[in-house]
C-alpha cells in the first residue's frame, strides 16, 4: 500500500491516449460508464467530454 497523497482540486489531464492512424477521416470518441475512485474505492464525481479523432492528409483535408 502506498503512502497517502494530499487531495487536489482543479482541472487536470488524467489520461492521454495515442492513436495510430490507418486512413484519413473522422471518428467519434465516446466515453461512457466512466468511474473514478479514491484510495478507499469511494466514487469521485467527474465530468466526461466526448469528442472526435480527425486524421487529415498532408494538405490538411480530412
- 11-29 tens-digit pLDDT: 888 788 888 888 899 999 9
Q: Which residues pair with 15 in a beta bridge?
A: none
Q: What is the pLDDT of residue 20?
A: 85
Instruction: Specify if 3 maps to a domain.
Output: no
Instruction: Specify if 13 maps to a domain.
Output: no
According to DSSP, residue 33 is labeled S
Instruction: Specify if 29 maps to a domain.
Output: yes
Domain tally for the chain? 1
Of 40, 44, 54, the closest CA to residue 1 belongs to 40
The three grid cell numbers given for residue 56, joined into one nine-digit string: 487529415
Instruction: Specify if 10 maps to a domain.
Output: no
Better-scored residue on pLDDT, 6 or 4: 6
- Residue 32's domain comprises 22-57
Is the full-model pTM beyond 0.75? no
Q: With pLDDT > 90 as the criterion, what percentage of the chain qualifies?
A: 16
Instruction: Identify the sign of the CA torsion 59, 29, 14, 46.
Output: positive
Question: Confidence class of residue 62 from pLDDT cuts 50, 70 and 90?
Answer: low
Instruction: Specify if 39 maps to a domain.
Output: yes
Amino acid at each position: 500500500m502506498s503512502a497517502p497523497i494530499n487531495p487536489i482540486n482543479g482541472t487536470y489531464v488524467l489520461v492521454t491516449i495515442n492513436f495510430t492512424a490507418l486512413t484519413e477521416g473522422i471518428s467519434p470518441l465516446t466515453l461512457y460508464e466512466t468511474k473514478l475512485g479514491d484510495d478507499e474505492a469511494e466514487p469521485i464525481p467527474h465530468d466526461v467530454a466526448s469528442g472526435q479523432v480527425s486524421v487529415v492528409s498532408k494538405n490538411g483535408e480530412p
